[in-house]
């Protein structure tokens, strides 16, 4: 018999069961499927059963007899949190720009002057593979400590074939050697290199003709993302880049309507993107089209908070039938945080989401945003045993006591990695 683990007698086990086929929408985002005084049995890295201890003991006596046991009395158990949008692999920090923004300069002004994404691109290009690996590994360790068990990771600080490959290969190696699961996105279209910005077309062509085919050939990414924003990539360039990726099997994602309304949500629907992310300034028409075409809205309230901008209208999206996920957008410029728990607080307090909705948005819907809901995102028999035990007596405490880390124990593929 393989290795087994029992988490027993948790005050609440939040399973999120029942939404593995389709993301939770509208009222479904309130359905947490909670088992009071519940237990979870795992074997060989997978969930064997979820329920009351007495029921599990009856059915799985032998496995339980040989299982390691964690007593979760008074605590709350949820699926491992999933962060579906990060810029994990990069070098350096930009606290100088933070200070400039506090004095009144805007994010785009700083970027147009050669800072912003360009500053991190310079630092990332200068960093060798091992430095990038080490910096990113530390971030993954912190993600674990805060209850995240899977992250999406974007390239986009290389902006040339070789440099983008370097970033993506760091993510592949981390996925191999770190217990965290990492799902990769190619984002060569994160910015036009500073020396080409007056004539972006050759760069767009390199993304389409050189980078996408090579990234796909080496199987380095599952998704293809583009920063569709005035002064970065136009909707037309974004469409061409996303369609080119699709031809090579890379599923479209898009940074849409972050700074200005720019037709990004509409474009996401047109190209059947799996998600449109940010959406601070998405139009009503764009939101309607996303709902019609089942495009996930990945909302990043940490970015609105940190850029001192208006928050995305989560209520309008959820009430309009857009499935919503939440993410940190972890990056050194617009959201230097690794705490998805804080993002949940912001979801409630700044975007009018309910504590139930923010849980759906960081578990099962986040899994759908990266096309992983068949094996993660909920506590159901047969799924990967990625689980968090929070040291709180009920799930409401998660978004109530804010700015704190409530994690007690993190279990990854059936093995404790934190706690
Ligand atoms: O999601 N908007 C574009 N990209 C990132 C920020 C990257 C950076 O500033 O380094 C974002 O906000
Ligand atoms: Fe981003």
Are 134 and 91 a contacting pair, CB within 8 Å? no
pLDDT at position 345 is 98
Cα-to-chain-centroid distance, residue 221:
15
For residue 227 and ligand 1, the question of a CB distance below 6 A is answered with yes
> From the annotation, which residues make up the binding site?
85, 87, 94, 157, 190, 255, 258, 329, 331, 333-334
The closest residue, in CA terms, to atom 11 on ligand 1 is: 334
Q: Which of 83, 85, 86, 87 to mutate to test the pocket of ligand 1 (most atoms within 8 A of CB)?
A: 87
> From the annotation, which residues make up the binding site for Fe(3+)?
85, 87, 255, 329
| Mean pLDDT in residue range 321-349 | 98
**Interval 103-129: pLDDT, tens:** 999 999 999 999 999 999 999 999 999
The closest residue, in CA terms, to atom 6 on ligand 1 is: 334
Q: Is the pLDDT of residue 219 over 80?
A: yes
Q: Is the pLDDT of residue 2 over 90?
A: no
Cα 311 to Cα 24, 116, 282: the distances in Å are 22, 21, 11
Q: Spell out the residues 6+ positions from residue 188 whose beta carbon is closer than 8 angstroms to its own.
A: 155, 156, 158, 159, 164, 207, 211, 212, 215
> What is the 97 CA–ligand 2 centroid distance (Å)?
17
Residue 165 belongs to what H/E stretch? helix 161-177
> From the annotation, which residues make up the binding site for N-formimidoyl-L-glutamate?
157, 331, 333
Q: Which of 191, 227, 232 to mutate to test the pocket of ligand 1 (most atoms within 8 A of CB)?
A: 227
What's the alpha-carbon Rg for the chain, to the nearest Å?
21
For residue 224 and ligand 1, the question of a CB distance below 6 A is answered with no
For residue 331 and ligand 1, the question of a CB distance below 6 A is answered with yes
Q: pTM surpassing 0.95?
A: yes
Residue 10 belongs to what H/E stretch? strand 4-14
The three state secondary structure string of 177-246 is HCCCEEEEEEEEECCCCHHHCCCCHHHHHHHHHHHHHHHHHCCCCCEEEEEECCCCECHHHHHHHHHHHH
Tokens, residue 302: 């940490």
Q: Which of 114, 139, 190, 302 to mutate to test the pocket of ligand 1 (most atoms within 8 A of CB)?
A: 190
The interaxial angle of helices 161-177 and 129-145, nearest 10 deg, is 50
pLDDT at position 21 is 98
Look over the chain and give the mean of its residue pLDDT values, rounded to a whole number. Answer: 98
* Positive or negative: CA dihedral 353, 358, 364, 368: positive
* Positive or negative: CA dihedral 175, 181, 183, 188: negative
Atom of ligand 1 nearest to the CA of 107: 9
CA distance 199 to 8: 61
* Positive or negative: CA dihedral 213, 198, 153, 278: negative
Ligand in nearest proximity to the CA of 101: 1
pLDDT at position 349 is 98
Token pair 């972006």 is found at 200
For residue 188 and ligand 1, the question of a CB distance below 6 A is answered with no
Q: Is the pLDDT of residue 361 over 80?
A: yes
CA distance 380 to 40: 9
Neighbouring-strand partners of residue 14? 34
Strand 4-14 and strand 181-189: the pairing is unpaired
ipTM above 0.90, yes or no: yes
What are the structural domains, with CATH classification, of the chain?
A: 4-80+377-418 (2.30.40.10), 82-369 (3.20.20.140)
For residue 303 and ligand 1, the question of a CB distance below 6 A is answered with yes
For residue 156 and ligand 1, the question of a CB distance below 6 A is answered with no
Please spell the DSSP secondary structure of 295-336, one letter per residue: -EEEE-HHHHHHTT-PPP-HHHHHHTT--EEE----BTTTB-
Q: Is 419 helix (H, G, I), strand (E, B) or coil?
A: coil
For residue 155 and ligand 1, the question of a CB distance below 6 A is answered with no
For residue 332 and ligand 1, the question of a CB distance below 6 A is answered with yes
Banded pLDDT at 1 (limits 50, 70, 90): low
Q: Tell me the percentage of the chain whose pLDDT exceeds 70.
A: 100
């Amino acid at each position: 018999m393989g290795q087994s683990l029992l988490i027993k007698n948790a005050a609440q086990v939040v399973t999120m069961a029942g939404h593995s086929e389709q993301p939770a929408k509208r009222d479904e985002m309130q359905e947490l499927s909670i088992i009071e005084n519940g237990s979870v049995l795992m074997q060989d890295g997978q969930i064997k059963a979820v329920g009351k201890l007495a029921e599990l003991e009856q059915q799985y006596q032998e496995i339980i007899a040989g299982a390691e046991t964690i007593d979760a009395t008074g605590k709350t158990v949820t699926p491992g949190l999933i962060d579906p949008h990060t810029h994990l692999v990069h070098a350096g920090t930009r606290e100088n720009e933070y200070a400039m923004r506090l004095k009144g300069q805007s994010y785009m002004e700083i970027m147009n002057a050669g800072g912003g994404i360009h500053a991190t691109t310079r630092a990332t290009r200068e960093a060798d593979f091992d430095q990038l690996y080490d910096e990113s590994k530390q971030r993954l360790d912190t993600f674990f400590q805060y209850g995240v068990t899977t992250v999406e990771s974007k390239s986009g600080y290389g902006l040339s074939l070789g440099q983008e490959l370097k970033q993506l290969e760091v993510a592949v190696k981390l996925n191999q050697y770190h217990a965290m699961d990492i799902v990769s996105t190619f984002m060569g279209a994160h910015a036009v290199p500073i020396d080409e910005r007056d004539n972006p077309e050759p760069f767009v062509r390199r993304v389409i003709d050189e980078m996408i085919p090579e990234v796909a050939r080496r199987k380095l990414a599952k998704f293809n993302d583009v920063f569709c924003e005035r002064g970065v990539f136009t909707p037309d360039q974004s469409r061409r880049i996303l369609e080119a990726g699709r031809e090579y099997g890379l599923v479209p994602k898009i940074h849409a309507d972050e700074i200005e309304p720019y037709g990004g949500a509409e474009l996401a629907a047109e190209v059947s993107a799996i998600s449109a992310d940010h959406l601070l300034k998405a139009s009503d028409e764009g939101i309607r089209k996303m709902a019609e075409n089942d495009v996930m809205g990945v909302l990043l309230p940490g970015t609105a908070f940190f850029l001192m901008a208006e928050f995305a209208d989560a209520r309008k999206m959820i009430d309009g039938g857009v499935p919503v996920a939440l993410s940190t957008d972890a990056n050194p410029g617009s959201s230097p945080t690794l705490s998805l728990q804080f993002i949940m607080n912001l979801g409630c307090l700044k975007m009018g989401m309910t504590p139930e909705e923010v849980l759906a948005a960081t578990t099962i819907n986040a899994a759908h945003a990266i096309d992983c809901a068949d094996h993660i995102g909920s506590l159901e028999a047969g799924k990967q045993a990625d689980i968090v035990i929070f040291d709180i007596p009920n799930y409401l405490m998660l978004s109530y006591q804010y700015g704190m880390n409530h994690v007690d124990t993190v279990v990854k593929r059936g093995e404790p990695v934190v706690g």
